[in-house]
Amino acid sequence: MNKYQVIKCKLKILKLKLNSLDTLKRFKNITVFQYMVKNQRLYIVSSSCCSYTSFLNDLKEKDELIFKDILLGLNQNQSDTLQLKLNNDWFLVEYQYIYKRKHLYRIEGLLIHINDLKKYENQLLEISRKDGLTYLYNKVTVEEMIKNEIDNLKQGTLLMGDIDSFKKLNDQLGHLQGDQILKWFASQLNEVFHSDVIGRIGGDEFVVFMKDTQHNEIIRKLNMLFDKVMYQYEKVPFSISVGIASYNGQDTYEEFFNKADWAMYKAKTLKQKFYIYEE
């Protein structure tokens, strides 16, 4: 192959690359980047509405370090895929290392905008964390949230409540009406304890974790809830029992939970609206 043919071949390759880049420009969610190791230059081709010319500065500190490690060739894999956050946008990063004479020559990759995918993932995650009937947090999630709260705060108040004789209500009124009672009660918990952690832990049992430990505020909110139940009693006669336990800064979640549970059954035994566990 003579010099003319070599140049012609290289021009064809260059034209092919330019055509490929031109095609990629039409995809608004894709950004192509190429990093030349020798002169430490980062080249970007994008038709996205976002500006990537200074995107290293816009990355979160942690993600910036990850991306810089990629550019420095510090990642152990010759090619890889990871997710990074640029400002408020999420991107899937695909890259590969190109070597020349056993030395890292350049890094090529794609930044693919995946905000819609992340939004969908978050929606699925939120669904998995909620109870299907009441849309309160489910047992696993609310336990995890309360554990985190008591680990961080070393204080708080746990309320455990259930609907008295709920099985009997179900038998008398039917399961559909029973479900409506549970949904209504959950909505009232949300209304009264809107700034607290609320969950359904099974059947007709609910828990509320309050960061507030002031007795007057706890009783005020409880009385609001009892008033709502009393008003509803005129339509569907039912009552609730609530156990209250304050975190002592040392208990495990299970110990804390058992105290509130014991207090709730004590309230039932004494036929009181609520009972406060005392150490």
Q: Where are the domains of the chain?
A: 3-119, 130-276
| Interval 154-179 mean pLDDT | 92
Residue 213: per-residue pLDDT: 83
Residue 96: per-residue pLDDT: 86
The two domains 3-119 and 130-276 share their CATH topology (first three levels equal): no
Residue 50: per-residue pLDDT: 42
Q: Which residues contact 264 (CB under 8 A, 6 or more apart)?
A: 160, 161, 162, 241, 242, 243, 275
Span 213-266, pLDDT tens digits: 899 999 999 999 999 998 876 777 889 999 999 999 999 999 999 999 999 999
**Among the listed ranges 26-35, 55-64, 90-99, 254-263, which one has the minimum average pLDDT value?**
55-64
- CATH architecture of the region 130-276: 2-Layer Sandwich (3.30)
Q: Is the full-model pTM beyond 0.75?
A: no
- Local confidence band at 110 (pLDDT 50, 70, 90 cut-offs): confident
| Percent of the chain's residues with pLDDT above 70 | 77
Question: Do 143 and 249 contact (CB within 8 A), yes or no?
Answer: no
CATH number for the 3-119 domain, one of 3.40.50.300, 3.40.50.970, 3.30.450.20, 2.40.30.10?
3.30.450.20
State how far Cα 66 lies from the chain centre. 22
- Local confidence band at 51 (pLDDT 50, 70, 90 cut-offs): very low
More confident site: 17 or 37: 37
